[in-house]
Chain A
């Protein structure tokens, strides 16, 4: 992604991009589900959406279904879209709460078009007419990460990125200031550069092994540190959403693609063994497994500086947040676009620019972190040790304050920059059974008769609009049908 981003924004002669990749080292391939922001990235660098989707066996994604999180048997969807709309300047959910208080019960889900469409397995592109209820949602993709990497490699090479195949065996630092001078690859070649971008994954070949930057761990709030991943055959219709099911020691993902379904169990090693996690995973697949499970290890947290000297760590080298809210690819995208924005004309990187970049990236990570912790902490589950731990742990003050304000009066604290806006917080608060004691006093201003009819209008508009949408599979078939894949290739993790 980084090479593609740089090669499309900067022309050869301005910035020369060289990619060093070892085909011997596999790629992780978690983070197959994305967020709607990826469409901005695609547009910015000139990727054709239909082509990308067809080449990566992609499906559409309207949100994430969370199963068994607050209580066993619960299901809610975090949608890419709003609930209702503001009435007299007061956010919609306050009116819904008022109606609930009056004893008229309607599912909050029925006020969100992407949730209703998800539940019915339907999809259409959003309307550009902002007055239409069909404009109240966004969408993202679920795709095969290996095919995505392959696609981007072709895209980058067409735009002048030079690719070198080889393993890095040594990193040479400049004596004067410890900046990276060059990297040496297995065949003995030395590659020099002004800026080194470390996309080497968890181990952080440059940022950590060479520069010893340091890492802030967040394990006490996000205790999952392992994952087992396995693809399986599709069974049943392709859902336009990802599913995350809470399990006895973590959670399991399910990501439907055109040719197969990706699955994984993200777990916490103190609470379950690798073998047991793998066997639980294998017993909970929709279809026939297409490979043996692959194991991953990680530590939730963030590199102390993702830009250190002349090295910028992007992706897992920069930090790791579990893929519960599909933020992995998004955080890569943020790092790339922010770096492109901040990159100065000279390659003597001014400390002030580096600090500015690092502060921005920190803010992005910290805000995602709080949102993820909410899923674990706001639960009533007491059936297994991990949930007892998470339910009773102390959360960061920034999150505790947010939760209190929601619990007391349904107020969502939002921010100008960073991921997850009001609807996302609402979905997860309500979904995790954080029930407000009261709503905004101004929601009482609407006469009771109007309240019921206005809410009903929203529900009707949504259900009518969804009824007119094609099914997800019908839409995929005409928009971006993928070539059938031989199973062996599809089985690659």
Chain B
């Protein structure tokens, strides 16, 4: 046996540092030595992130307190507001929250499906305290005691540079070694396993297991092997992003906003002292200049020079090859629409801890890791794609994107939903039934019929039964403090 004693992480972003700290902590009893080869600022690094609620669990896992996160200028996020994805004035929310309370064991959104199918105007937003609070720019953490105040969760808006600086400090004090340098080449054993990384300055960094967290450049993986990649661009044609910082908004709403454009979508996310903005689009349908002009027109008060980045939706078929593992964007590139950028790295951490190799040479783990991460990646892709499939926006880009047949697993899910209102989940899904309900109902995607036994239950429910719930939630939301006040540490 030749146990893994030295883990080497290559990269410089949030994914790299999170992985280093998390694995160092998880395997501290085994005295795992963790080294980060800090490859320095990358032109591909995002300006920041809108995360999923799972980021809270990550912070707990790496021992970061929420106050430390807020000190980086972060804000809270109760959901995402999508504007103009159907008609020009349409908008809907996807809150990190349950919708209403169960009706005789049936999810509340079934009532909303039936209401929409019978032409009654109603919205999921009315039945979630988190959604209402987000609209009022108010925020409070979930409170145990009543299901109505505890049935939501929250995430963060994070600016990459200060957030990474904080993580770097956490890593340093935890005992993670940092080596600054650029990867030049790898030295491999006869069986292909990497033994040492050589940096541009000639320094040699030996290791037993290597994580490539260098983003879409996949610097290490590309030295190890060409990489068999599954391309998703026919389904997700956006391949460019302009992003910048803009002026802050006073007491901003605790939510991310997207606005559908002619060939993609623009986004806005609040920070304590600024706003992050971007325009994600397809270069086949829109020139870079026009895309920038659209961003500037929508957000006139840009504060930094906009940065242009390219990407290509898809995933590596084998993120784990030999003793090298592609993490985060090195493994999967996906537009940030679902807020899962950091989440992909977290899934990698969790799966790697569960399958931490017994031996630096063992391969049985890689097969299972690649299977699981492939399922996770496809599930994230499907949820992202569903934003494009479920809406009814017109225009060449939108119609072309919708007309491409879906991958089978998404097609089955949407077919069943459209026929019967039923939402099914497969193994390894990040987004739950209620997330799909927010998205599909919000997009105006309605089923043709409902399941008979469910219709029987929800058809008895009338608006008079649910209006008091809505009023009560509005009162609860109004009692929450303004978002800006919640951002002060201990505030």
Q: Which residues of A contact B (CB under 8 A)?
A: 9-11, 14-15, 340-346, 350, 352-353, 355-356, 359-360, 401, 404-405, 408-409, 411, 413, 415-417, 438, 440-442, 444-445
Contact = CB atoms under 8 A, between A and B. Distances in A.
Contact of A441 (B356, B412, B452): B356
| CB-CB nearest 6 A-B residue pairs | A445-B29, A352-B419, A352-B415, A356-B416, A350-B419, A408-B364
A341 B364 contact: no
B455 A438 contact: no
A341 B453 contact: yes
Given A356-B416, A441-B3, A445-B29, A340 B453 contact: yes
A88 to B, nearest CB: 9
Interface residues of B, number: 36
A344 B427 contact: no
Interface string B4-35: 00000000000000000000001101100000
Interface string B271-300: 000000000000000000000000000000
Given A343-B451, A401-B368, A444-B29, 18 more contacts: A14-B452, A340-B453, A341-B453, A342-B422, A345-B451, A350-B420, A352-B418, A356-B412, A356-B415, A356-B419, A401-B367, A408-B364, A415-B427, A416-B425, A441-B3, A441-B356, A442-B27, A442-B29
Given A352-B418, A442-B356, A344 B362 contact: no
Interface string B419-461: 1101011111000000000000000000011111101100000
Given A352-B416, A356-B412, A344 B368 contact: no
21 contacts: A10-B456, A14-B452, A342-B420, A342-B422, A342-B451, A343-B452, A343-B453, A344-B420, A352-B419, A353-B419, A355-B412, A405-B364, A405-B368, A409-B358, A409-B362, A409-B364, A413-B368, A416-B428, A441-B27, A441-B358, A442-B27
Of A340, A401, A442, most B-chain CB atoms within 10 Å:
A442
Nearest to A351: B419
A417 B450 CA distance: 23
Contacts, number: 95
Interface in B355-394: 355-356, 358, 362, 364-365, 367-368, 371
Contacts of A345: 449-452, 455
A409 B419 CA distance: 44
A349 to B, nearest CB: 9
A11 B455 CA distance: 13
A340 B420 CA distance: 13
B353 to A, nearest CB: 7
Main secondary structure of the interface of B (DSSP, over half): helix
A408 B415 contact: no
A343 B420 CA distance: 9
A86 to B, nearest CB: 12
B398 to A, nearest CB: 23
Contacts of B424: 356, 360
B361 to A, nearest CB: 12
A10 B364 contact: no
A14 B451 CA distance: 13
Contact of A438 (B358, B422, B448): B358
B27 A344 contact: no
Nearest to B357: A441
B30 A444 contact: yes
Contacts of B427: 415-417
Contacts of B371: 401
Interface of B: 3, 26-27, 29-30, 353-356, 358, 362, 364-365, 367-368, 371, 412, 415-416, 418-420, 422, 424-428, 448-453, 455-456
Contacts of A413: 368
Contacts of B355: 411
A214 B365 CA distance: 38
Contacts of B453: 9-10, 340-341, 343
B38 to A, nearest CB: 27
Contacts of B27: 441-442
Contacts of B452: 10, 14-15, 343-345
Contacts of A401: 367-368, 371
Of A342, A343, A352, A417, most B-chain CB atoms within 10 Å:
A352
A6 to B, nearest CB: 10
Nearest to A447: B29
B230 to A, nearest CB: 20
B358 A442 contact: no
A441 B456 CA distance: 52
Contacts of B448: 350
Contacts of A408: 358, 362, 364
B3 to A, nearest CB: 7
Contacts of A350: 419-420, 448-449
Of A9, A15, A345, A408, most B-chain CB atoms within 10 Å:
A345
Contact of B422 (A341, A409, A411): A341
Contacts of B420: 342, 344, 350, 352-353, 356
Contacts of A415: 427
Given A344-B449, A346-B449, A356 B422 contact: yes
Contacts of B425: 416
B450 A359 contact: no
Contacts of B365: 409
Contacts of B29: 442, 444-445
Contacts of A359: 412
Nearest to B456: A14
A416 B450 CA distance: 25
B490 to A, nearest CB: 31
Contacts of B456: 10-11, 14
Contacts of A343: 451-453
B31 to A, nearest CB: 11
Of B353, B420, B428, B451, most A-chain CB atoms within 10 Å:
B420
Contacts of A440: 356
Nearest to A402: B368
Given A342-B422, A441-B358, A353 B26 contact: no
Contacts of B451: 341-345
B207 to A, nearest CB: 17
A385 to B, nearest CB: 32
Nearest to A348: B449
B353 A442 contact: yes
A330 B238 CA distance: 47
Nearest to B371: A401
B238 to A, nearest CB: 28
A445 B452 CA distance: 52
Of B26, B415, B418, B419, most A-chain CB atoms within 10 Å:
B419
Of A346, A353, A411, most B-chain CB atoms within 10 Å:
A353
